Structure 1
């Protein structure tokens, strides 16, 4: 009896350890590519933080920086992959502009409690890392089927925001968009990670484009977590505060 339970315990321990080290489906070339992608992502996040700091200093964030950020991303995507230095520069420029665009939200959180920024970033980093790691250790292409569902959800979110901008928003609609959008972009972390791995296996080693995809996921999650924390910390249930956040998010979206 003791031998049986001992063998079962050993089996469970081995399964757990093997699951955590299940990178055998990812070739060394793809693993090297992923390291480059995540290193570039870290640099983009630092640039994004610099952009937010520049907004706090000079109040440069707004609709103009949002359009400039979208333009930089479009320019990056249209630039040939062999112009590597130019594409990296465009990614960093887009990250700085993105940071400036969410600068008003960062400034609002600092005015309430500066620790909210650190807490939201750590929470985002942990959730991003966990879901990205789960996509790596899972079977190849296991979660790619979720892309269709996530695209449908993103379409629903877009039409809700459009309707709110035309007919007027409410706190309940904004709350739904906030939590539903958080769920969507967490799902996109899983799907985008597996999609990057699959494209790398077939020879697409464009680490700048892949880092951009993960960067947009990270920022989207961070902004929503920060808004949730700000709303809960400052004045829970205050409808006027929720409506002010609606206009703030609409500005940078």
Structure 2
């Protein structure tokens, strides 16, 4: 009995210590890195606002498509090829341009969600923000480099998704493959949120304080998760409406 009581007592004390102390403690993150993370997430918020503006421009003028996708890729390559120790204002402007074109490219999907049910769009964004925030916080509270080993597995998963998408484009895809790509892709990019957050922290500890590139990395993760959550919710909504029609008929 003493052994059991001491065991459960130690477990409860560990849980309490984790719940109250670790959630407000960033002892493993130095003040310089904490200041860097504030810059990263502030830049990420600005990029999301720019992306929302791009989606709104698509709703007004129907500009989203292949052209904005190429413009997004071009501005992203331009940003990554610009040295981070100079022309910082230019790099921030390129980040905002990348986000703007990305939002316009996602605009057709957002337009479809508004036509079907506007509440789906709000739910998808809130769900993405909550998931992104929770997994980012988990990565910050975990021990340094604890989840970096997942990077190889996630890269393999990403390559599987690319090959599946390539094969579907050539040979044609089925509904099962499309569903697998959605859910497996969501799992992969949620994992990238954790790995990329820890990678940013580790790079900052080594002196890499390029908050623009780091914000771009998290922005691509956020958009990838948002698109998949929104697509899953739209598909479920359409399936429910079709089932209701069949029942009525």
Superposition map of 1:164-183 within 5 A: 164-183=168-187
Superposition map of 1:105-120 within 5 A: 105-120=109-124
Q: Does 1:25 align with 2:25?
A: no
Question: Unaligned regions of 5+ residues in structure 1, if any?
Answer: 239-253
Candidates 56, 70, 77, aligned match of 1:67: 70
Q: Report the Cα distance in structure 2 between the residues aligned to 1:36 and 1:138, rounded to whole angstroms.
A: 21
Q: Report the Cα distance in structure 2 between the residues aligned to 1:171 and 1:8, rounded to whole angstroms.
A: 46
Question: Unaligned regions of 5+ residues in structure 2, if any?
Answer: 243-249
Candidates 41, 51, 58, aligned match of 1:48: 51
Tell me how far 1:110 sits from its aligned partner. Answer: 0.1
Cα deviation, 1:208-247, whole Å, max 9, x if unaligned, reads: 0000000000000000000000111122597xxxxxxxxx
Q: Report the Cα distance in structure 2 between the residues aligned to 1:187 and 1:229, rounded to whole angstroms.
A: 20
Q: Does 1:58 align with 2:61?
A: yes
CA gap of 1:215–1:7, structure 2 versus 1, over 3 A, is: closer
Q: Report the Cα distance in structure 2 between the residues aligned to 1:69 and 1:178, rounded to whole angstroms.
A: 22
Candidates 74, 80, 85, aligned match of 2:83: 80
Tell me how far 1:9 sits from its aligned partner. Answer: 4.9
Q: Report the Cα distance in structure 1 between the residues aligned to 2:14 and 2:106, rounded to whole angstroms.
A: 48
Cα deviation, 1:147-172, whole Å, max 9, x if unaligned, reads: 00000000000000000001111111
Superposition map of 1:6-25 within 5 A: 9=12, 12-25=15-28
Q: Report the Cα distance in structure 1 between the residues aligned to 2:63 and 2:141, rounded to whole angstroms.
A: 42
Tell me how far 1:138 sits from its aligned partner. Answer: 0.3
Q: Give the number of equivalent residue pairs.
A: 237
Tell me the SS of whatever aligns to 1:36: helix
Q: Report the Cα distance in structure 1 between the residues aligned to 2:61 and 2:167, rounded to whole angstroms.
A: 33
TM-score (normalised: structure 2) = 0.91
Candidates 115, 125, 132, aligned match of 1:128: 132
RMSD: 1.8
